[in-house]
A and B are shown apart, each in its own frame.
Chain A
């Protein structure tokens, strides 16, 4: 019989208390982990697409709407700007790279983004890749359009949701979401590549070449234009220069992506901080219950400790056993809680996605989960110190007499 045997036998013997305490911890940790996973996914989705982006230029309107539409592929575009403006912006002395976006079409609910080869330029940031060739999981990027050649690159979300593969043909609809309608003439795009997974809205889009987009009858009418231009200024003061100049323009709206993302996150951040506090409160309640049951069991366990001391187990071993027992109990509960959190996200991911537009990846681990488990185990170990220190402090003869 080792001290470990004694700990495990004790936990099994008091199985009702063990299960109740473990479940209490599990529920607390589960809530914390769900909040952390959702929070992390939300941040990833907001921060990753805008990371290293410079400016977005579009039609006059709301800067936030412009960023939401061009960077997060959400909502409506504020309007269209002429291609001549795209050229003007691309040739500006402060511009390193200009990537035009035209939106408004969709493929079975997935937004279509018409852009140029610049999307695959190494200066265009991709959340999951630093080199241009790493932006693609499969296949190649679309090249400059030749007569009759229409090529598309899809996000992994499109591939996974619809089952489209490289070599398949896709037909686009005019409009996005519920209002999408078929184009007048059937026009097909061949899928030539699949983007590397980013965990962002980019996974859900279909990329086609801007020229093939504008060549369609519905988009060719009037002044051909684009929805937005993602602008990457040269290093140094050029961001400020571009911002300063473009803010003077009444025909354009310019948005600094990082600033707008910060604004968005500050709104979301307050909410998820609130959720996190609630989750920690749940955990504190469950840890408090362990402290309470540990305190209540102190008297009952004095007899056991007195006997072990009388048999010759040193004080330190008994304190360590008491701490280890509480730590094992909370560790079991905490690990169960973390597994429960991932299980819940796995089971309820579809509902969450339906409700809020994104579903956290249940297979993903965030460092906060590890910290939550460690914090709970440390608190549990502290709870185990109470009866242990009681045994440590008391003379064994006194303990024996008290219990007798």
Chain B
């Protein structure tokens, strides 16, 4: 389980032929280890960008992001990649499974990227698919799975490296209400079982209602429309 600490974070968006625009700026924010936090906010407010910054996929314009004991913003890109592979699981709006691989292989791939050997990676993938309830579809390719099944496989993939931090970006955006509920329950169960810290962003009120801690992005940021030179 890994906590997250954000200090003096600034994300600016470049604009062709004009000064860059500050998307958001967060003076200080902390997520405790094993916490399950939902970030709410309107579309375009920067929720996904914040998640990308926390994952080390995007370098902020200023500030520090620390995950566990590691300051991501101090790391070179290759080191950030390696850190993310081992410590951060990502779930996207759509499952983003590789079509050439089976469900099992998609999950095992994430474990392999994290440095886990082939056989243990497959074992872990099998166990995770069992946990998310799609073990019977392990040899199915993404095109043979339903949308809900794909998203469950994606959750299993996010957990393949046994990450201390799980970042989920609108993971139920493509699901119907029944599947949405099931997916959120699954996320909670898995996080509970593995002690994983969860940061989930969503604009869906039903999803927000399933979290004890809901933070509006607007409450975190200070100068949402500040211009910088």
Contacts and interface: CB of A to CB of B under 8 A. Distances in A.
Interface of A: 1-2, 6, 9-10, 12-14, 303-304, 306-315, 395-397, 400-401, 403-404
B112 interface: yes
Contact of B55 (A9, A308, A310): A310
A400 B52 contact: yes
Nearest to A2: B112
Nearest to B52: A397
The interface residues of chain A, by DSSP majority, are classed as: helix
A9 B78 contact: no
A400 to B, nearest CB: 7
Given A310-B90, A313-B113, A400 B108 contact: no
Contacts of A315: 77
A314 B57 contact: no
Given A2-B112, A400-B52, 15 more contacts: A1-B101, A1-B121, A9-B98, A9-B105, A306-B96, A307-B96, A310-B90, A310-B92, A311-B90, A311-B110, A312-B81, A312-B114, A397-B49, A401-B48, A404-B92
A397 B57 contact: yes
Interface in B87-115: 90, 92-94, 96, 98-101, 105, 108-110, 112-114
A13 B99 contact: yes
A304 B98 contact: yes
Contact of B100 (A12, A306, A396): A12
B9 to A, nearest CB: 15
B58 interface: yes
Contacts of B78: 314
A246 to B, nearest CB: 75
B118 interface: yes
B85 interface: yes
Interface string B70-81: 000000011001
B77 A310 contact: no
B186 to A, nearest CB: 20
A1 B84 contact: no
B81 A1 contact: no
Closest 3 CB pairs of A and B: A312-B85, A13-B100, A397-B58
Interface string B17-47: 0000000000000000000000000000000
B82 interface: yes
A312 B113 contact: yes
A303 B96 CA distance: 8
